[in-house]
Homo-oligomer: A and B are copies of this chain.
């Protein structure tokens, strides 16, 4: 990683200049990421600091508010997701879209943090949403143009639907997948 702000998304927090500080910064981000994923956004910040092997003071210096920390984690995940959109570029329209959605599901699904905070609207959140849409929307549009996805649905509709579905509890991962499939069938045209 280079040491400038890696993208407009994460402009909120600055990665520090000194080597040890940078190390701590990264450790915190990683710890927060798993903590948010496994226990939700409410995780005590002290726990995160401890599991990063760092004092609480250090956490606060890097991320003055819980929101700043959350934003930083979130920005990272969104970025990964945007990259994924490029990987599917040369699949056929519907496959490209649904593969990207799979990616979306596995990034977002296990980590409930994102759906938890979905309605927040910080500046950073708007940026993230925009970036994500720029990545995913073309894929959906292509599926629509190919006559594979219904035209009365917007990309936003689909994303919210998916987000909702994967955020609930299921008996098994298998059930989650099945249910997702049903919902996608409702988006796809010329099916069944």
Q: Which residues of A contact B (CB under 8 A)?
A: 115, 118-119, 150, 152-153, 156-157, 160-161, 163-171, 175, 178-179, 182-187, 189-192
Contact = CB atoms under 8 A, between A and B. Distances in A.
Contact of A166 (B164, B179, B184): B164
A19 to B, nearest CB: 41
Contacts of A157: 175, 178-179, 182
Contacts of A182: 150, 153, 157, 161, 183, 186-187
A179 B150 contact: no
B170 A167 contact: no
Contacts of A192: 150, 189-191
A186 B187 contact: yes
Nearest to A187: B182
Nearest to A182: B186
Nearest to A157: B179
30 contacts: A118-B168, A118-B169, A119-B169, A152-B178, A153-B178, A153-B182, A157-B178, A157-B182, A160-B168, A160-B169, A160-B170, A160-B179, A161-B179, A161-B182, A161-B183, A163-B168, A164-B164, A164-B165, A164-B167, A164-B168, A164-B179, A165-B183, A182-B183, A182-B186, A184-B186, A185-B185, A185-B186, A186-B186, A189-B192, A190-B192
